[in-house]
Amino acid sequence: MGQLSDIREHGLEGIEHNFLTGKLEDFLRWVRYRSSWGATFGTACCAIEMMAAGGPHYDLARFGMEVFRASPRQADILIVAGRVSQKMAPVLRNIYDQMTEPKWVISMGVCASTGGMFNNYAIVQGVDEVIPVDVYAPGCPPNPETLIHSIVTLHGLIRSDEIFQRRAENGGGAGVHVEEQPPARSTPVQLAGVRR
């Protein structure tokens, strides 16, 4: 009983054993969802919201995503934020192919997910035509809370191993759709000596 309480104290929830008797798959899942590194592919206004989510107000570091990676070889979550043109599609596929396995994709916003209001020959009508998508984040543009909800949903799928089962069923991404989250209410900061 002492080992179990010690494990829960140190944040290894979901792992009922120590490092000698635990299953390797449990430890790998725990490590994967606790230390996911994001690669960004921001092309429009959704990228601004993605940058805001990476700022100090929303603190993605608490999810193990300290910084966004500029190199796809150092990342395992690709966040596609904004519309993708036909000319950018091969570049996006190249970035996805350079990422190491296991890798996951979040499609952020309606332009990335369905082409949005750009129903023409120049824009890809959903990035799932180019790469497999695991989580779709709705909104135009989705607020940082929705992106964080998408990341937490993806982490839950990684932790429960459901994401690999979904991929095996449909041969592509997991295809999970999340709900748009309301913006967080923040209280205005009172500055000392300033009267209103």
Report the 10 Å Cβ neighbour count for 9.
8
Mean pLDDT, residues 88-110: 90
- Global pTM reads 0.76
| CATH number of the domain residue 110 falls in | 3.40.50.12280
Would you say residue 46 lies in a domain?
yes
Per residue in 51-83, pLDDT tens?
888 888 888 888 777 777 778 888 888 999 988
Would you say residue 2 lies in a domain?
no
Mean pLDDT, the chain, whole residue set:
77
Q: At what angle do helices 24-34 and 144-160 cross, to 10 degrees?
A: 170
pLDDT classification of 19: cutoffs 50, 70, 90: low
Would you say residue 185 lies in a domain?
no
Would you say residue 15 lies in a domain?
no
**Does residue 137 have a pLDDT over 80?**
yes
The more confident residue out of 99 and 162 is 99
**Does residue 88 have a pLDDT over 60?**
yes
Would you say residue 162 lies in a domain?
yes
Per residue in 151-184, pLDDT tens?
888 888 887 777 667 767 766 776 777 777 777 7
The pLDDT, as a whole number, for residue 50 is 86
For 134, the domain range is 24-177
| Beta bridge partner(s), residue 135 | 106, 176
The pLDDT, as a whole number, for residue 56 is 83
Contact 107, 128 (CB under 8 A): yes
Peptide bond into 141 cis (omega under 30): yes
Furthest CA-CA distance within the chain: 63
Would you say residue 104 lies in a domain?
yes
Would you say residue 186 lies in a domain?
no
Of residues 70, 81, 72, 90, the one with CA closest to residue 42:
81
Q: What angle do CA 136, 79, 145 make, to 5 degrees?
A: 65
Would you say residue 72 lies in a domain?
yes
Tally of structural domains, the chain: 1
Q: What percentage of the chain's residues is helix, strand, coil (to nearest 5)?
A: 40, 10, 45
